[in-house]
Amino acid sequence: MIQLKVNGATRKFEGDPEMPLLWYLRELLELTGTKYGCGMGLCGACTVHVDGKAVRSCQTTMASAAGKSVVTIEALKGQHAVQKAWMACNVPQCGYCQSGQIMQAAALLKEKPKPTDKDIDDAMQGNICRCGTYQRIRKAVKMAAGVRA
């Protein structure tokens, strides 16, 4: 049996230890804010935090999540500085990638509270936005950090 914390609640899993964390979150816990994108860890739509680090949940097995703390977009409850900046900067267009973008940005700000443009570009480069809202994303990250755009 695998035990882990998801959004602060202790959870147990008795299924296939190779099951991707993404499917556990979406299908079993019904936390559908985390999106399936490419399934190969390349697009970032499935980004969640595991022990405070941004990871691709489609490539993270349940076995590797054992004993760890997982945080999904649902735990932010629209109150995180990044989410507020996202709204203020009108970042989303279609919105599909945004939960992954927000989770990646939140992890960046936890690690580097006052990121430079290079820090933002480096951290966000693995998160694809098919609508091309990258300039608004950078502006929102800076706003959330209190850095002048």
H or E segment and range at residue 123: helix 117-124
- Confidence class of residue 132 from pLDDT cuts 50, 70 and 90? very high
Residues 59 and 91 both lie in one domain: no
46 and 89 housed in the same domain: no
Q: Provide the residue range defining the domain that includes 39.
A: 2-75
Tens digit of pLDDT for each residue in 81-128?
999 999 999 999 998 999 999 999 999 999 999 999 999 999 999 999
Contact 70, 124 (CB under 8 A): no
58 & 83 share domain? no
Q: Which position has the token pair 């680090």?
A: 53
Into how many domains does the chain fold?
A: 2
Q: Which of 23, 45, 75 is the last residue of a domain?
A: 75
Same domain, 115 and 92: yes
| Cα–Cα dist 44/27, whole Å | 19
**What pLDDT band is residue 137 in, cutting at 50, 70 and 90?**
very high
Same domain, 83 and 113: yes
The residue type of 10 is: T
Indicate the pairing of strand 2-6 with strand 47-50.
Answer: unpaired
**Domain end among 40, 75, 110:** 75
The answer to whether the pTM exceeds 0.85 is yes
13-40 tens-digit pLDDT:
999 999 999 999 999 999 999 999 999 9
Of the candidates 18, 45, 75, which is a domain's last residue? 75
- The distance of Cα 124 from the centroid of its chain, to the nearest Å, equals 11
CA distance 63 to 41: 17
Q: Is the pLDDT of residue 4 over 80?
A: yes
